[in-house]
């Protein structure tokens, strides 16, 4: 075997150990070699399955109920998964029969929505919320009942916050599955959410999972951003996330 080829393979092997990205894939002529091609197809199948996998709302509600406080399960205006995927607008609105508790003077409300990967919130929502909610409760924050939404998109958190009288909202949602992560979760935080809130009004924490932003770090960032929103009375592009600087040196 050519020594240069062997050396090149060793370099790519070392680099592949540093990233989940598909780099330096072996080829057979003009096509991918069999092994990376099958791996690609498996990842694509897992991503497709994640999009269509239904949310086990009852099980998730039981797990989140262990964090203390009431948990409410509702649905968006999308009657089924197909409608949710074809009509994004329906996922941003509450179902006509969605029942929420009476409004109160809440500091924030946490919303967990399946989004495009129910598996993501089923795996990651509880440990992230355990950190964030415990931290805020210890500081005297008044938290609204935790809300689980089937077939929900980010903006449905605005309607929930308005209905409950919460000053801010943190929506934990399954992100669009990729070829390296079918179970990535995102968190979208908005201060004073309203009907015409846009993505520019939100702060986003993406790639929450053990291989991305870990649970404790994500919970820390969520709590930090909510504190900053309350102190500065704003969110989105006007609020810089400085939590990374604070995380340096933490275990």
User: How big is the CA angle at 201 (ends 195 and 204), to the nearest 5 degrees?
Assistant: 120
Return the pLDDT at 23: 82
Res. 7: pLDDT tops 90: no
Share of the chain above pLDDT 90, in %: 71
Return the pLDDT at 5: 58
Domains, the chain, ordered by start: 56-247 (3.40.50.11240)
Return the pLDDT at 35: 85
> What does the mean pLDDT of the chain come to?
92
Q: What is the pLDDT of residues 181-218, one digit of tens each?
A: 899 999 999 999 998 899 999 999 999 999 999 999 99
- Hey, how many other C-beta atoms are within 10 angstroms of the C-beta on 162? 17
Return the pLDDT at 26: 82
Closest CA to 38 of 50, 30, 46: 46
Answer yes or no: are the C-beta atoms of 117 and 103 closer than 8 Å. no
Confidence of residue 250 (pLDDT cuts 50, 70, 90): low
Return the pLDDT at 3: 58
Alpha carbon 89 to chain centroid, angstroms: 19
Mean pLDDT score, 39-61: 90
- Give the chain's radius of gyration (CA, Å): 21
Diameter of the chain measured on Cα atoms: 73
Res. 105: pLDDT tops 70: yes
Return the pLDDT at 175: 96
Return the pLDDT at 13: 81
Answer yes or no: are the C-beta atoms of 45 and 37 closer than 8 Å. no
Share of the chain above pLDDT 70, in %: 96
Return the pLDDT at 242: 87
Q: Which two tokens stand for residue 55?
A: 């949310």
Res. 36: pLDDT tops 90: no
Return the pLDDT at 178: 84
Q: What is the pTM of this model?
A: 0.88
Angle between helices 118-138 and 57-65 (to 10 degrees): 20
Confidence of residue 245 (pLDDT cuts 50, 70, 90): confident
């Amino acid at each position: 075997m050519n020594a240069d080829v062997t050396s090149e393979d060793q370099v790519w092997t070392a680099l592949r150990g540093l990233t989940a990205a598909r780099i330096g894939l072996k080829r057979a002529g003009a096509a991918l070699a069999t092994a990376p091609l099958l791996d690609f197809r498996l990842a694509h199948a897992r991503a497709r399955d994640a999009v269509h996998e239904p949310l086990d709302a009852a099980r998730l509600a039981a797990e989140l109920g262990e964090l203390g406080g009431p948990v409410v399960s509702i649905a968006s205006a999308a009657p089924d998964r197909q409608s949710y995927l074809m009509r994004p607008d329906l996922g941003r609105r509450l179902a006509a029969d969605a029942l929420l508790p009476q409004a109160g003077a809440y500091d924030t409300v946490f919303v967990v929505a399946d989004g495009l990967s129910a598996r993501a919130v089923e795996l990651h929502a509880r440990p992230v919320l355990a950190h964030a909610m415990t931290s805020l409760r210890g500081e005297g924050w008044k938290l609204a009942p935790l809300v689980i939404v089937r077939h929900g998109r980010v903006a449905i958190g605005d309607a929930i916050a308005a209905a409950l009288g919460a000053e801010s909202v943190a929506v934990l949602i399954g992100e669009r599955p990729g070829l390296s992560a079918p179970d990535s979760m995102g968190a979208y935080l908005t201060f004073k959410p309203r009907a015409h809130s846009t993505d520019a009004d939100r702060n986003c924490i993406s790639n929450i999972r053990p291989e991305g932003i870990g649970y404790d770090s994500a919970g820390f960032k969520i709590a930090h951003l909510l504190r900053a929103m309350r102190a500065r009375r704003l969110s989105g592009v006007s609020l810089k996330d400085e939590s990374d600087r604070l995380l340096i040196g933490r275990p």
